[in-house]
A and B are shown apart, each in its own frame.
Chain A
Amino acid sequence: MGEPVATARGVVKRFGGKHARPALDHVDMTVTAGRITGLVGPDGAGKTTMIRLLAGLMRPDAGEIAILGRQPAQALDDLGYMPQRFGLYEDLTVRQNLDLYAEVRALPPEEREATYKRLLEFTDLARFQERLAGKLSGGMKQKLGLACALVKTPRLLLLDEPGVGVDPISRRELWAMVGELVSEGIGVLWSTAYLDEAEKCDSVVLLNEGRLLFNGPPHELTDTIAERVIRVTGFQSRRRRFLIRALDRADVIDGTIQGRSVRLLLQGGAPAPAPADFADGDALAIEPAPPRFEDGFIEILGGGPKGTSALAERYRTIPESDALAIEAKGLTKRFGDFVAARDMNFAIPRGQIFGLLGPNGAGKSTTFKMLCGLLTPSEGTGSVAGNDLRRSAADARAALGYMAQKFSLYGDLSVRQNLDFFAGAYGLGRHAARDAIAAMIEIFELGDTLDMNAGTLPLGFKQRLALACAVMHEPPVLFLDEPTSGVDPVARREFWTHINGLVEKGVTVLVTTHFMDEAEYCDRVTLIYHAEQIATGAPDDLKARAARASGAADPTMEDAFIALIEESNHQARAAA
């Protein structure tokens, strides 16, 4: 057990006025030498504020902070800090960035060569010394950012969301690198919105809306729910229907789809249900499943939503049809010499969720944008709800609902005005618009926020409003671009409850995501890497394929993702 390198006691920080909700509300935490402390929470939880306080960039309104026993700003020589957007100078080369940081941190010139050599080796960037930082991939930028934070070996290393914008392979490499630093006795604070990363930390500080929800080793949280996570397989009904029914039971507080099985979190104190309780065929089997950090988070937040979606209840049933809801035929997009997406082919029948998976910059957004009409394909064609993208783009647009990655409604208009606008923009008549808006307000509980500026809503409400605006005209096809980035797990469940319900009504969904557990909701996914589709199939099939390739039993979706990318890299190398 190492000594504490950073401690915070009762820290409060407010932005904008005495009455504003504090960004941090009496938070205690400790970072220990030689360990990875995870600062975990959804966007807006206060992670960056906490890190900036520790780095001495701001003062707390109340409470005490000590870095290595001193005031935060006095310990700068022993502090390494990597801000969220890398803190790199994109117009300088890798080498020049290192020089700059060495200069700023007053590294003696005679030590520089040795330090650079060590860091470039450590980060595997030696080959790219002369490349401009702006031209590096997301993963390489993070590694360079880390190297820059390490030019003078710190005793405390603050990493603000190093996993964002990084593909799974680079993310794994980053973890390995940080693991090495920790073994040298450095205390690392790793902030993240990905709950699966929390499980890899030695200790976790869980924040939500500025409040400390949990502080301790992750297993302490998962232990509290150890016996209460089950996996159900072999049911007869469709998996989404089964999940909806299971969630509506009183003894189930959360549930997710995992390939062809369903994972449930049970109410504490209730007896575990027997297979017959679900009344869904004789083959139904129940087995205990290992609890995850996310389950614990949901337990603290009081459980997820129930299974029935009021939105889906109200939605029209999309007529049965054999026609494809979405089709991509050889879609290719070039920007000059650069091919952003090459020869994309897939066909999505009515009432399915299809996922586009891939690292940032691989081409999934390009493919997505071609299908919803934001980009004109250089080659190939596609159709949405039977409307050819090239010939009847406006009809195709009228048939789809769209939810963008970042909040992209009108932030300086009120919630009500946003609803009014999108109802009008999608051509709803006066009565239809009034009914639809009233229904959305009720379903998404927007009543108290109607006059607020949409931009000032809490993240979860922004997401609800975005979904409301996308589905008011009851489109047969939904396009979702990273729909749940950064929101808390309960809001994410709520979102998927609605989507699952809509799909049961025959809506077809195209989703891009880098959350591997979201990929599990998809009927089929296609993995996009280096602008090409490298694998397409049901999540379970891809996992099985990865298991055959790597020999690992029961791989997660992320394992499958990594195995398939490595396989593709091998093939590329063999071909070259």
Chain B
Amino acid sequence: MGRLVAMIVKETWALLRDPKSRIILVVPPLLQLFIFTYATTLDVRNVDIGILDRAGGQHAGELLSRIAGSPNFRKLIYLRSIDELRAAIDDQKVIAAIIIDQDFDRAIEHGGQATIGLVLDGRRSNAAQIVAGYLGEIVAGMSTDILPGATADPDPGGVVVTNWYNPNLDYMWFTLPSLVAIIVSVSGLAVTSQTVARERELGTFDQLMVSPLRVHEILIGKMIPPMMVGIFNGVLFVILAGAVFHVPFTGSFLLLLMALCVYLLALVGIGLLVSAASQTQQQAFLGSFLVMVPLILLSGYASPIDNMPGWLQIVTYGDPLSYFLVISQGLFLKAMPAAAVFQQVWPLAVIACVTLTAAAWLFRARME
């Protein structure tokens, strides 16, 4: 027991003694949280719309001023010909362009069907779809206003949409719980992957190996500090999410803490695997990158797992982040009950057992 304590104390000092490294453990993840929270916006704002107005009448003017008044678009760029329109889309000056035909006003005044053309930049398909949605809303709003008949007959059928858990569809509610999980993972993995490799590189590894410390004591000693850092960052982020970004935390904080611990065990196991395999800190650094990217891409953060091909979905069962993302989002937004959390925690526990056992095995195998 004394040996284990000595090992844990030593590893903690190694991580925290240098004031610079203390800052590195906390500040960059914090910056990442702030920057990424604003950067990974799913709203489409600040885009420019091209206008090719061949009508020039009163109704066309009304439509354009409604579009110009929308907060989602930055400015309207008036175009004079189809060629100019093509160039504007090609150069990505505008994401979409509206074509108003010459008979637009006449058609409306005759109470007929007036149509406008919409050209979208298909290279940015997601954003363009959203822009099309916005524009559709504006056009629909205008047609109800100028066609009195429509108001008399308020929506005979159609769909009434309510967004549960995120009623205003605030993108931050969706991205922030995921970002908390991902940033904790990135920093946790980076710290763990250095530990063994650093001893190898600095020549202290032999000194450790000739001491009576057992392999499990060394590994537990190396697990504790990164887990502490991960828990610290995780708790800090959850508090910030509520206090700064006003994302509600509806679930049980204790459940989150417990799930975070199990998740960190699995993650630290991966980090130790990378570290045991590396001879130098540089290798360990590259190794942690190599692992981190698929860990995030397969977690369901960037694209839903259900949309992946079947064989890849099976691979995602091995990704601890995919379970923890579910827990994090669930506890933030929908007060996930304990039973549902445990359903995600037990696979994490299994993964932790596998990664830690593998790390111990690799550590032993690469002792020479």
Contacts and interface: CB of A to CB of B under 8 A. Distances in A.
Contacts of A426: 3, 211-212
B257 interface: no
A426 B2 CA distance: 9
B6 A420 contact: yes
- Most chain-B CB neighbours within 10 Å: which of A395, A397, A398, A421? A421
Nearest to A411: B202
Interface stretch (B13-21, B35-43, B232-240, B306-314): B13-21
Contacts of B2: 424, 427-430
B204 interface: yes
B213 interface: yes
A409 B3 contact: no
B222 to A, nearest CB: 13
A420 B9 contact: yes
Contacts of A374: 206, 209-210, 367-368
Given A374-B368, A414-B17, A424-B7, A394 B203 contact: no
A484 B17 CA distance: 29
Contact of B9 (A395, A421, A479): A421
Nearest to B6: A424
B5 interface: yes
- Most chain-A CB neighbours within 10 Å: which of B18, B204, B208, B211? B211
Contacts of B74: none
B3 A427 contact: yes
A122 interface: no
Interface in A407-453: 407-414, 417, 420-430
A412 B204 CA distance: 12
A536 to B, nearest CB: 25
Contacts of A425: 3, 6-7, 10, 208, 211-213
Interface residues of A, number: 35
A449 to B, nearest CB: 15
A372 B202 CA distance: 19
Given A397-B212, A425-B213, A406 B14 contact: no
Contacts of A408: 202-204, 206-207
A427 B212 contact: yes
A421 B6 contact: yes
B126 to A, nearest CB: 47
Contacts of A330: none
Contacts of A376: 368
A397 B2 CA distance: 16
Interface in B194-224: 202-204, 206-214
B10 A413 contact: yes
A398 B206 contact: no
A427 B1 CA distance: 8
A528 B279 CA distance: 29
Contacts of B14: 410, 412-413
A430 B3 CA distance: 11
A395 B7 CA distance: 18
B316 to A, nearest CB: 39
Contacts of B202: 408, 410-411
B45 to A, nearest CB: 47
B17 A424 contact: no
B3 to A, nearest CB: 5
Interface string A125-141: 00000000000000000
A514 to B, nearest CB: 19
- Most chain-A CB neighbours within 10 Å: which of B7, B206, B367? B206
- Most chain-A CB neighbours within 10 Å: which of B2, B17, B203, B368? B2
Contact of A410 (B10, B206, B210, B214): B10
B6 A412 contact: no
Contacts of B7: 421, 424-425
A374 B208 CA distance: 10
A373 B18 CA distance: 32
A413 B13 contact: yes
A532 to B, nearest CB: 21
A406 B203 contact: yes
Contacts of B204: 408-410
B217 to A, nearest CB: 9
A404 interface: yes
Given A421-B10, A425-B6, A413 B210 contact: no
B220 to A, nearest CB: 13
A479 B5 CA distance: 26
A194 interface: no
A424 B5 contact: yes
Contact of B212 (A398, A409, A420, A479): A398
Nearest to A479: B210
A258 B214 CA distance: 41
Interface in B132-167: none
Interface string A363-396: 0000001001111100000000000000000110
A477 to B, nearest CB: 11
A265 interface: no
Contacts of B203: 404, 406-408
A328 interface: no
Contacts of A420: 6, 9-10
A375 B214 CA distance: 16
Nearest to B208: A425
Nearest to A400: B210
A424 B213 CA distance: 10
A397 B3 contact: no
Interface in A44-87: none
A417 B13 CA distance: 8
B21 to A, nearest CB: 9
Contacts of B13: 413, 417
B198 to A, nearest CB: 9
Interface in A70-128: none
Contacts of A561: none
A529 interface: no
A402 interface: yes
Contact of B10 (A372, A375, A417): A417
Contacts of A373: 209-210
Contact of A417 (B17, B18, B206, B213): B17
B325 to A, nearest CB: 35
A420 B9 CA distance: 9
A391 to B, nearest CB: 15
Contacts of B5: 424
B10 A404 contact: no
Contacts of A409: 204, 207
B207 A424 contact: no
A407 B207 CA distance: 10
A428 B17 CA distance: 24
A404 B208 CA distance: 11
Interface in B241-293: none
A414 to B, nearest CB: 7
A429 B210 CA distance: 19
Contacts of B212: 394-395, 397-398, 425-427
A245 B367 CA distance: 44
A404 B17 contact: no
Contacts of A430: 2
Nearest to B213: A425
B210 A372 contact: yes
Interface string B347-368: 0000000000000000000011
A334 B245 CA distance: 61
Contacts of A424: 2-3, 5-7, 9-10
Given A413-B13, A421-B10, A404 B368 contact: no
B8 to A, nearest CB: 9
Given A374-B206, A404-B206, A425-B211, 6 more contacts: A372-B210, A408-B207, A413-B13, A417-B13, A420-B6, A423-B6
15 contacts: A372-B210, A373-B209, A374-B206, A374-B210, A374-B368, A375-B368, A394-B212, A402-B207, A406-B203, A413-B13, A423-B6, A424-B3, A424-B5, A428-B2, A430-B2
Nearest 7 CB-CB pairings of A with B: A424-B6, A398-B212, A421-B10, A402-B210, A408-B203, A425-B211, A408-B207
